[in-house]
Amino acid sequence: MRARSAVAAALASAGILLAGWQAGVRVEDTGSGAVGTSSGADGTAGSSGSSGSSAASGASGSSSPSGAAAKAGGTYAGAVVQTRFGAVQVQITVKAGAITDVTALQLTDAERKSIQISNRAAPLLRAEVLTAQSAKVQTISGATVTSAAYLTSLQAALDAANL
């Protein structure tokens, strides 16, 4: 009886630690909160080879930092969000104040299962974001950590674009 309660207590503690670990998503500080990617960034969705967070600061397609110029158009990359499964970074393309494209610059790539989950979740999140024109969309079931990181990076890109 004593061994059973010790095992139950250990499992409960492990469950609490695991839940806290899964909920942990950290946004990596990139200095300016958002980065432009006018050159040198891999714009393919599902790319899993990049793990760094260096990029040029600013926004491509816009020479003025004012909100009106930013809403007119350009490409804006969100912050790199670190998860336990890898980094996530999203880039948006804006024309006439509307989001016309969402590209995942980095997706979780810590293990094969993470890559599968990211490759399933990214197109669904992209479609939802383009429909909603905001980061206020539902997370993808089974890809909670990836979805949260994707939407966090997306919000940083939206903030950079003054949307």
Q: What is the pLDDT of residue 62?
A: 38
Would you call 101 exposed, middle or buried from its count of C-beta atoms within 10 A (0-12, 13-18, 19+)? Answer: middle
The tens digit of pLDDT for each residue in 52-78 reads: 333 333 334 333 344 555 566 899 999
Domains of the chain: 26-160 (3.90.1010)
Q: What is the pLDDT of residue 73?
A: 84
Quick one: residue 114, left, alpha or beta (phi over 0 = left, psi -120 to 50 = alpha)?
A: alpha
Q: Is the pTM for the entire model greater than 0.85?
A: no
**pLDDT winner (highest mean) among 4-8, 59-63, 153-157:** 153-157
The tens digit of pLDDT for each residue in 81-135 reads: 999 999 999 999 999 999 999 999 999 999 999 999 999 999 999 999 999 999 9
